[in-house]
Structure 1
């Protein structure tokens, strides 16, 4: 179904440039442009009905609100001063941002994420370790930044109760609290709320959003909500890669994430404690056939950074008959600087290539460790 977008602006050069960009990107829309308010009013008085009306500040607002009743009315504003009956979009910014904000307003009014839907085949990677304290958040953040640097549109979601990535996305439009409220409210579209809440880190390009206002909000979020969230992300089809960072428990929330993911990265330190906990977890889950699917997409990442190096004997061969090894991450001062992880991707991108390669190929072929990585050589793992 064709929809009508109407743009009004007395600056003919600005109008021409913006309209040209939007015509290329909005192939399912009809577009009409006006440089004077009188011509636009005459067009509306003739009975034409726009779906979106996008006008600058020198157009006659009162008449436009009356004649374009039912349309999403948006002001291209230079001052961002509120105007009754009109949404606001900053006029002088990237055309892509104007397009995204405009479609978001339209989706919110219609209650449907259809106009926001992209064409990406979203791959979801969950970082989870039953051992805990193995640098899961560091590896998740670095993987997200490495994916973005490789040209993938990437979303990073921290779903730990105690958010260890707090403050890395301070300027996002919304928060996890907003997303959780949508998950618990019938009739609200989770995809729209995610699109409205997430924002990109200006240096790395990684999308994220602020954490919860209170960790008590997690008490109402379980397996069903996580399945709903991952389903909404896939349905949005806007991100190429989604990196989810979760805590080391194994309640309903973690199960929903692990079962709904395309692949699971399990960081372990090369020490006795990590391997003992991993073996305990495997022993427990052997009683439940439902976990076989999780095992099939699970890859161990040996995180040697910050760990007490244990005896190589702890790399027990029996354990790795069940779990696949993706790669090992060597100690690096870059990885110790949490505040700069997102903007330092060029320094560690090659190291994380085995992880980004797995994310790219998830679901496309039988999962195997990348060639030359995670192979046993002379009784040791490289």
Structure 2
């Protein structure tokens, strides 16, 4: 396993002692930390030692030219709101250790010469699944069911990662957490042939109080449109091999572009969401018919992966879809007067989600 060699230069010796103690308590197996309060001693250490990440207090005059080309560098600042100092990245000193650690990982992933193949893989767990949520009709609440399923699985002790790949997706409707970066940064890293995609992912993942980890949505819809099938394959393959997640929930738009076709292939289960109304059901049936065509063209089983879930279902007007052997897992009625996060939390208590 790779152990990141971290070096910190800061004149505040009390802070360095406390910071090192906390860092070693939580990440001793992942980071080897060396702290200095004197520039001269720091330079002497660099002569004979390779450093992966170097953090320097913003008030210290340090010549970055002495660092090796593959060493990640950032200024250590008193204010966490500062993102850059003199063109270099900045990390706030006074924030949660988990947030500082994720930014150290980010620096390492962007600058290190280590390759993914050199990172110890944890292997593909036998109970690891990828659940793909999508809808043929807008407004049926597929994102709500995807978020609710994530919450329910987390309550059952599963290690869950939620990813929203919708063109106009917004994770903040369901999950709130501190952290930096988003899916746009990860897409850029993949397209740039970043050698440490696994570490980049780990640095961007955010944790929530409900037990669901997630990747923040893209900054711009254009970034989603720029994803190709090979990018999705790299992302999912890395997640399956190099993380401890047993369940990955993907919320995505339906299209016949490369991204959707790749998602169909990697998904263990495809959950199509309808509200049971005629318009949504008709569109869902067309989508199922399209799956049948794709199945024959590519000789890849799709329909056997598909399950139908209902959201905002009205017993007066709504009807269930009947299509070959495609199963319905049940559904939920409409919730009025509540925000999306509250609705997802209520749906997460419903047993029908165990059938996804």
Which range, TM-score by smaller chain?
Answer: 0.7 to 0.9
Corresponding residue to 1:330 among 309, 329, 333: 333
Q: How does 1:210-225 map to 2 (within 5 A)?
A: 210-211=217-218, 213-215=220-222, 220-225=226-231
**1:61 aligned counterpart, secondary structure:** coil
Deviation of 1:226 after TM superposition, in Å, equals: 2.9
Question: CA, structure 1 residues 265+68, in 2 after alignment: closer, same or farther (shift >3 Å)?
Answer: same
The TM-score, its normalising length taken from structure 2, stands at: 0.74
Counterpart CA distance in 2 for 1:93 and 1:118 is: 30
Q: How far apart in 1 are the matches of 2:201 and 2:42?
A: 34
Name the CA distance, whole Å, in 1 between partners of 2:193 and 2:72: 24
Unaligned runs of 5+ in 1: 358-368, 371-382
Q: After the TM superposition, which of the residue ranges 287-296 and 135-144 deviates more from structure 2?
A: 287-296
3-state SS, counterpart of residue 105 of structure 1: helix
Partner of 1:349: 348
Are residues 38 and 49 of structure 1, via their aligned partners in 2, closer, same or farther at CA, if it must alter by over 3 Å?
same
CA-to-aligned-CA distance 1:219-255 (integer Å, 9 cap, x gap): 5544344333322433452655432222233443322
Work out which of the residue numbers 254, 265, 268 in structure 2 matches 1:262. 268
1:103 is paired with a residue whose SS is: helix
Identify the match of residue 88 of structure 1 among 87, 90, 96: 90
1:214 offset after TM fit, Å? 4.9
8 Å contact kept, 2:8–2:36: yes
Higher radius of gyration, 1 or 2: 1
Distance 1:129 1:67, change over 3 A: closer
SS in 2 for 1:75: strand
Q: Counterpart in 2 of 1:296?
A: 304
- Taking the aligned partners of 1:279 and 1:257, their CA distance within structure 2 comes to 19
What is residue 380 of structure 1 aligned with on the other side? none
Provide closer, same or farther for how the CA distance between residues 196 and 2 of structure 1 changes in structure 2, counting only shifts above 3 A. Answer: closer
Q: Bigger CA drift: 217-226 or 196-205? A: 196-205
1:124 has 2:130 as partner? yes
Distance 1:294 1:22, change over 3 A: farther
Instruction: Give the unaligned 5+ runs of structure 2.
Output: none
Q: 1:107-141: per-residue Cα shift (whole Å, max 9, x none)? A: 10026575998869564321123455432222223
Q: 1:67 to 1:253 in 2, by over 3 A?
A: closer
Contact 1:9–1:34 (CA under 8 A) maintained in structure 2: yes
Contact conserved, 1:145 with 1:204, CA < 8 A, in 2? yes
The aligned counterpart of 1:143 is: 149
Could you tell me how far apart the structure 1 residues matched to 2:24 and 2:264 are?
41
**Could you tell me whether the CA contact under 8 Å between 2:161 and 2:212 is conserved in 1?**
no
Q: Please show how residues 40-51 of structure 1 align to structure 2 within 5 Å.
A: 40-44=42-46, 47-51=48-52
Query: SS of the counterpart of 2:35?
Result: strand
Structure 1: how far apart are the matches of 2:201 and 2:30?
Answer: 23
Contact 2:10–2:37 under 8 Å retained in 1: yes
Task: Write out aligned runs for 1:102-181 (5 A).
Answer: 102-110=104-112, 114=116, 123-147=129-153, 154-161=160-167, 163=168, 165=170, 168=173, 173-174=180-181, 176-181=183-188
Q: Cα distance 1:256–1:192, how it changes in 2: closer, same or farther (>3 A)?
A: same
Shift of 1:96: 1.6
* CA shift for structure 1 position 301: 1.1
**Pair 201,68 (structure 1): closer, same or farther in 2 beyond 3 Å:** same
- Say which SS state the counterpart of residue 134 (structure 1) adopts: coil
Assess if the C-alpha contact under 8 Å between 1:128 and 1:267 holds in 2. yes
User: Contact conserved, 2:186 with 2:200, CA < 8 A, in 1?
Assistant: yes
Give the aligned length. 343
Distance of 1:113 and 1:146 partners within structure 2: 36
